[in-house]
Amino acid sequence: MDWQKPSRVINNRCSVRLGLTAALLLGLSACTTSIPIETTIPTPLIAPLPNRVAVYYDPGLSNFEHTEKIVGGTDYQVKLGDANQRMFAKLFSYMFQEVVQVDSLEQAFADNQGFDAIINPAILDLEIAPPSKLESAFFEAWIKYRIDAFDKDRKPIVNWVVTGYGKAEPEMFNSSDALHAATVTAMRDAAANIVIKFKRQPRVREWIQEQERLHAAPTE
């Protein structure tokens, strides 16, 4: 029976080699590039609305991640972390005279702290696309947010979906930087849209006019 030993050893070695090769191939095919997003949105150059608002940040804003599966290529995992929440916090602090962060919508409605509005921002989606010969030579990113606003009587003021688009030139051997740049540009684009277009939403304009009338009316 001793003569069978070498054969077993060879078979074991073959198995190990096959296993390593398979693991390597699997590892290559399932390769994922992780991209943490760090950005600071500049200070917006706008006049704030003279209102006191409560903001309830959707939990998804504080730790958002998106994985884009690329067929036959590297998958990309974009980690936005709390970048969205920091962005909204900065924008709202310049868009309104006073902003108070609350832990829930119910708290904002129940506390009766004299909020003119309660705002609830959320992230809906992030899509990214690497360069493609047929479509675009750039890394591209699309980001979609939803901003719900209610008056103090819980009546909806606006349910607004706002998007941002960004693209960046690919860099040789460094797709992470280009994808980071595209995502940051998309966030900045959305931020610019929020700052400029929030006040232009028809229902928001009506609410602003209503607030102006209320604040102008003499108190009894």
Partner 1 sequence: MLRPRNRSWPLGRRILISIGPLLLLAACVDSTIQQVKKPGVAINDADAVVILARRHENAKETEAGFTECVEHRLAEIGGTLKVHPRNTFVDAMFPWFEPGTAPVTTDALPRLLDNPGVRNQIALTGVRYVVWLDGSTERVDSGGTMSCALSPAGGGCLGFGWWEDAADYEATIWDLTTASTTGMVSADVSGTSYMPALVIPIPLIARTQAAACRGLAKQLAQFLGGTPEEAIGSD
> In the complex, what is the shortest distance from the CB of residue 176 to partner 1, in angstroms, rounded to a whole number?
17
CB closer to partner 1, 169 vs 210? 169
CB closer to partner 1, 29 vs 40? 40
Q: How far apart are CA 185 and CA 126, in angstroms?
A: 13
Q: Which amino acid is at 142?
A: W
Q: How far apart are CA 188 and CA 21, in angstroms?
A: 44
CB closer to partner 1, 109 vs 165? 165
Q: How far apart are CA 11 and CA 3, in angstroms?
A: 14
Contact between 64 and partner 1 per CB under 8 A:
no
Q: Report the residue from 17, 137, 203, 209 that binds partner 1 according to the rule CB under 8 A.
A: 137
> In the complex, what is the shortest distance from the CB of residue 94 to partner 1, in angstroms, rounded to a whole number?
10
Q: How far apart are CA 80 and CA 124, in angstroms?
A: 13
CB 54 within 8 A of CB 118: yes
> In the complex, what is the shortest distance from the CB of residue 74 to partner 1, in angstroms, rounded to a whole number?
22
Q: Report the residue from 120, 185, 201, 204 that binds partner 1 according to the rule CB under 8 A.
A: 185
Neighbour-count burial of 198, counting CB atoms closer than 10 A to its CB (0-12 exposed, 13-18 middle, 19+ buried): buried
Residue 90's nearest CA partner among 57, 58, 124 is: 57
| Residue position matching structure tokens 């916090």 | 89
Contact between 174 and partner 1 per CB under 8 A:
no
By DSSP bridging, strand 117-129 and strand 139-151 are antiparallel
> In the complex, what is the shortest distance from the CB of residue 183 to partner 1, in angstroms, rounded to a whole number?
14
Each residue 13-52 as x (binds partner 1 by CB under 8 A) or -, in order, gives ----------------------------xxxxxxx-----
CB closer to partner 1, 33 vs 193? 193
Could you list the residues that contact partner 1 (CB under 8 A)? Answer: 41-47, 135-138, 164-165, 167, 169, 185, 188-189, 191-193, 195-196
